[in-house]
Structure formats: C-alpha cells, structure tokens
Structure 1
C-alpha cells in the first residue's frame, strides 16, 4: 500500500488535504463547467504555445535552473537526462554564470539534484567558472523555485538574478507561471529539440493544462476574495 501511495506524496496531489487547495479545486470545477470547458482549452493552448515556441539555447548569460524528475534506481530517467543535457549545452555555449540543480528525494537513496550532479560529472567537460549548486529539499516545482529563490538571494532585500528555466516542453508553462509569481525574471529553455506529440506527450500536456488552470484560477480567487493566506502560497 505504501508503494501505491508514493506518487500521491509528490506534486499537487500531496496538497489534497489542504482546505485552501480544495476550495481552489471547487472553484476551478465551477469555472470549468460554467465556461463549457473553454477556460481549460485556453490553458491548454498556452501550454502548447510555450512548449512549441521555447528555444533550446539562451541568448544571454543567466543563472540556469534545471528541474529534476523522479529517479529510476537512483538514476535520471529519459526526461531528466534531456534536461541535464540541454542545461550542459547552454553552459558550454556560455549562456550560464551558475547552475542550480533542483530536486529532493523521490524515494531513492539520493536526491534528484545529486543524481543530476553525478550525471553531469560523468558527461565530461565543464567550465570551472560556472558553479553548480544543489537544491535538495523540494518535492514539487513550486518548492523547487522557492528554495532556488533562497539560494539565489541570501539577503531578502537583494534583487533576484535573471534565470533560465530548463525543463521538458510539457512542463515549461507551469514553471514559468510559478517563477514569475515568485518574482523571477524567468525565460524558458526546452529540453527536447522540438515538440513531438506522441501519445504520452499529449497526456502530459493535457495534465499540465489542468494543473495550470487549477493554480491560476485558485490565485485569481484568492485575489478576488482577499484570501492572503492562499495568495501567499505563490508569492
């Protein structure tokens, strides 16, 4: 039973016991039904547009945030390897002044960030002037970015540096939304060379549109009702 429940402890599912999150889910359902699904379609178009248009190489030098993903036998799986490889390409092209590997424990003996570090070390060449920092406390994308913000801005009053967000194309829209709400000057870099709509990828994008709709409508509801506690979750 513990093994079956493990996936529910990660991502948005772990918030299902939270009253504010459930209220946001209820409001989202009402909006979805009331709009005849058009609000969901708008978010899906946004997920697709960002996935389609995002570049694979940055055009300026920024801090590089590479998002982790659940490990398989303490090793990065295919999506995570794609993110690491794309981040490394950008570092070697001079598009990064520092790198943060994001990701805590996903059930194995090491963190996602540490597994990423080991993969990069095994990949070979790495510029000595580009430091690598591990963020190993988070278990979802929001926590990734919150902890990255703390690492990039030790003094609260200091400005945040501009960042590249390196992740899979299906994941970019949600990461951009969260990063910008948290105060980042963020831009996307896609792990995959191009958007290839396989059956698995379509499912992932449909799910991401749902997550993004839930988060976005929840934040709008918090603003409308003056629920500061709820709004503070992504600020």
Structure 2
C-alpha cells in the first residue's frame, strides 16, 4: 500500500493547530458540530427531486441502526415525493464483501421503493470520497440535492459537499439529537475530523499543494 504523505501532512497540521491554540480550535469545531446536530431539520421541499444518502460501514454485511435510520429517512422522502430519486453512496469497506450502497438499495427495495429510482456509487471508502464521486457522477452540477445522514455527521458532510460545490439541503436521519454519552463521543470525533479537514485545506492553500486540493475540492476541475 502506497504511503499517504498528504494525509500525514494534514494530520500533522491539524494536531499542530490544536496544540498551538491550546485546544480552542477543537472546541470551536465541537460547538459547530453540536449546533448543526441540534438545529437542522429535514428540508422536504418537493421541488428537490434528488436525494443523496451517505453510506456507512456494514456489520457482517448488514446495515447498523444508524445506516438504517438514513435509509428510513430516504424512504419517507421518496414515498412523499414520487418524482424523486435517490443516490446511495458507498463501496466495499472494512471486512465486508458487499458495497454499502448495494445493501442500502436492497433495504429500500424491501420497503417497496422502485429500483428504477435508486442509483448507486460503489467505489468510495469514506465521506469525502462519497461526495467527490457523487459530484463526478452528477450530470447537473447546479442542482439542489437533499443530503441524508445522521445528525452528528451532518456538519462535516455539509462542509465537504461545499468543497465540491454540491448544492445541498440537509435532511438528518433522526427527528432530534439525543444527548447520550455515545452521541457526545461521536460529536467529539467529528470535531476532530473537521479540524483535520480544515487544517489540511488551509495548509494546501498556503503551500499550493494541488494534490490535496484536488482531493477535497473542485479547484482543479
């Protein structure tokens, strides 16, 4: 496996920023993630006909509860707007031998969603690749899409989508954010990932590193 120097550079920059700001940058990211997780509601404007469901790592080739929540929200929107279609994103990850998107499609078909309304992206390994590959697949780069993921994951997903100039409206999988230890822990992890993303982005801009910029944005397109 080829060593990823750009990822290491971004990670090192992120840790340096956290240390130099005495953790303040991480705190700001935490507040941002929590604010989005608490406040966002599902935008169910019937004028939006394209849904995007972010995939999630499978457990024994099956979706976990969080992924099922995302798919259930997609099912609700699809049944409420018969003109809509959905892109499910996610390839083979972890120890699974099935693509996340393939499993998601099966769940929706079992919920009586017509297979002709379901489109798949089956090569991505994580959120950034999910969105980059969707951008490449999309024939209409200016369309509004309804982005479906879990509440704790929404802030980073919106931020990354903006990097690819994907015009998103948010649609959290859950009706509300629950203050549990596991959810707060997820918010902390997401705060670190946002710090990682932003540190890498601004380091790449400052140093003119187009390899990193091409991975996270449309700058070279």
> Would the TM-score normalized by the shorter structure come out above 0.5?
yes
The answer to whether structure 1 residue 146 and structure 2 residue 132 are counterparts is yes
**Gaps (5+ residues) in structure 2?**
none
1:62 Cα offset (Å): 3.5
Please tell me whether the aligned partners of residues 66 and 83 of structure 1 are also in contact (alpha carbons under 8 angstroms). Answer: yes
The two structures have a TM-score, normalised by structure 1, of: 0.85
Within-5 A mapping of 1:1-235:
17-59=3-45, 60-94=47-81, 97-106=84-93, 107-124=95-112, 126=113, 131-153=117-139, 159-235=141-217
Q: Distance in 1 between matches of 2:51 and 2:83?
A: 6
1:160 Cα offset (Å): 3.5
Deviations 1:29-88 (A, max 9, x none): 221111111111111111111111111342241411001111122221100000000011
| Deviant stretches of 4+, over 3 Å | none
**Gaps (5+ residues) in structure 1?**
1-13
RMSD over aligned Cα atoms:
2.0
Secondary structure, in 3 states, of the residue corresponding to 1:192?
coil
Please tell me whether the aligned partners of residues 44 and 77 of structure 2 are also in contact (alpha carbons under 8 angstroms). Answer: yes
Alignment length, in residue pairs?
A: 215
Please tell me whether the aligned partners of residues 152 and 160 of structure 1 are also in contact (alpha carbons under 8 angstroms). Answer: no
Please tell me whether the aligned partners of residues 58 and 95 of structure 1 are also in contact (alpha carbons under 8 angstroms). Answer: no
